[in-house]
Structure 1
Amino acid sequence: MLDFTWKVFSQTGNIDTYLLFKEMEKERIEIPGNFDEELAQADFPVS
């Protein structure tokens, strides 16, 4: 979803779309145990 939002912003220059992108990006970072983290941990398990 972040990629789509960024693509729309880059094509339109709409500031509201950029603000939505930044809000979504912030929420993604704040959510503990997000999917990307889980994938990274699966690749490099901590002993």
Structure 2
Amino acid sequence: MLDLTWKFFSQTGSIDTYLLFKELEKETFEDPYSFEEETAEVDFPLT
């Protein structure tokens, strides 16, 4: 999906496509454990 959005951006120069690319890139390379840690805090709040 990243390749497709990057190719579309490079051909059109669309700012919206670039922003979509960056958002997808961010989600792709996010730490997979960060969500679990946030969920753990909700389930077991530190008091």
Where in structure 2 are there 5+ consecutive unaligned residues? Answer: 34-47
Aligned length, in residue pairs: 33
| Moved >4 Å (runs of 4+) | none
Where in structure 1 are there 5+ consecutive unaligned residues? Answer: 34-47
What RMSD, in angstroms, separates the aligned Cα atoms of the two structures? 1.5
Matches for 1:2-21 after TM superposition, within 5 Å: 2-21=2-21
The structure having more radius of gyration, on CA atoms, is: 2
Matched-pair identity in %: 76
Q: For 1:25, give the aligned amino acid.
A: E
Question: How far apart, in 2, do the equivalents of 1:31 and 1:3 lie?
Answer: 21
